[in-house]
Structure 1
Amino acid sequence: MERTLGSDLIFESQPTRANASLPLRVLANVVLWQRRILSRQQLARLDARLLADAGISEAQRQAELSKPFWR
């Protein structure tokens, strides 16, 4: 009697679509976090005149600067 592989065994070692995109999602999050860190550093360096030009109050700036990088 000859043994055959079922189709489910052939594809068992291949990553699923959700697992394959996991590294891309992680990379996208890291890039987003880096952009937030850099933009908040720039915001922290703005003087009162530049804040007023941008329409940002000191309270709004402090609220943004107090957020963790993942938010």
Structure 2
Amino acid sequence: MAFTDITTRHTNMKPAARRLPTLRMILDVWKSRRALARLDAQRLDDIGINSERATRESAKPIWDVPATWRD
């Protein structure tokens, strides 16, 4: 039953609307990545990532929105 709920959640939406990031999403990602780039080593350790991973994530282009943000 839960599986059906998950798969039918977006049935009213057009397929393209589920995949394309909105301007708001892009701005949120940009802000998040800028903030991530400014964190020091202690703060990165607090959230469980290392500086290499933070650098890779913050260097991604703004249109590269995580798939989980599109759901």
Give the TM interval when normalised to the shorter protein: 0.5 to 0.7
Deviation at 1:62, TM superposition (A): 1.0
When normalised by structure 2's length, the TM-score is 0.59
Structure with more relative contact order (C-alpha pairs < 8 Å, separation 6 or more): 2
2:57 match: secondary structure: helix
Whether 2:19 is the aligned partner of 1:29: answer: no
Where structure 2 has 5 or more consecutive residues not aligned to the other structure, the ranges are: 1-13, 65-71
Where structure 1 has 5 or more consecutive residues not aligned to the other structure, the ranges are: 1-17
Deviations 1:9-51 (CA, angstroms, capped at 9, x unpaired): xxxxxxxxx7xxx9xx5xx610000000100111011110000
Percent identical: 34
When normalised by structure 1's length, the TM-score is 0.59
CA distance in 2, matches of 1:58, 1:44: 9
Aligned pair count reads 47
Q: CA RMSD in A?
A: 1.8
Question: In proportion to residue count, which structure has more helix?
Answer: 1
